[in-house]
């Protein structure tokens, strides 16, 4: 078996991710994937009916809006959005970098279909 390859996530995001809300796969962990994206001004309202979604802010600040309020997050902060909960992530700083943990089958826009939906993810 070859030696696993390490990734410097922020360097890879800067070099390989050219637009906001374009998630890339950083790695696979069992049936889940670790995805990384730069966030933009505002995303679509959506929910993931069958999957929890976790966010870890690596650089910058974001907010995750919920119908009853918002959670603001900075570097090193982590949030789990339970399955079925409608939410909308957005940036609070220029192109924050966020790590997401979710099943490999999770679509970035969940139950919403829009121009931001990404069905074929690139790998770092």
- CB 90 within 8 Å of CB 62: yes
CB 60 within 8 A of CB 37: no
Query: Of 88, 102, 91, 99, whose CA–CA distance to 37 is shortest?
Result: 99
Q: Is the Cβ–Cβ distance between 73 and 47 less than 8 Å?
A: no
Instruction: Write out pLDDT tens, residues 59-115.
Output: 999 999 999 999 999 999 999 999 999 999 999 999 999 999 988 777 666 666 666
Query: What does pTM read for this prediction?
Result: 0.89
pLDDT tens digit string along 99-121?
A: 999 887 776 666 666 666 676 77
In the chain, which residue ranges form alpha helices assigned H by DSSP? Answer: 9-16
Residue-range domains of the chain with CATH:
9-123 (2.60.120.10)
Rounded to 10 degrees, the C-alpha dihedral 5/7/13/14 comes to -100
């Amino acid at each position: 078996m070859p030696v696993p390859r390490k990734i410097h996530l922020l360097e890879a995001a800067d070099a390989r991710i050219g637009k906001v809300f374009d998630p890339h796969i950083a790695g696979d962990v069992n049936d889940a994937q670790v995805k990384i994206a730069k966030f933009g001004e505002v995303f679509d309202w959506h929910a993931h009916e069958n999957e929890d979604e976790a966010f870890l802010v690596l650089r910058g600040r974001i907010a995750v809006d919920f119908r009853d309020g918002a959670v603001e997050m900075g570097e090193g902060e982590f949030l789990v959005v339970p399955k079925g909960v409608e939410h909308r992530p957005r940036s609070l700083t220029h192109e924050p970098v966020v790590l997401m943990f979710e099943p490999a089958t999770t679509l970035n826009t969940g139950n919403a279909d829009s121009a931001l939906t990404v069905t074929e993810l690139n790998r770092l």
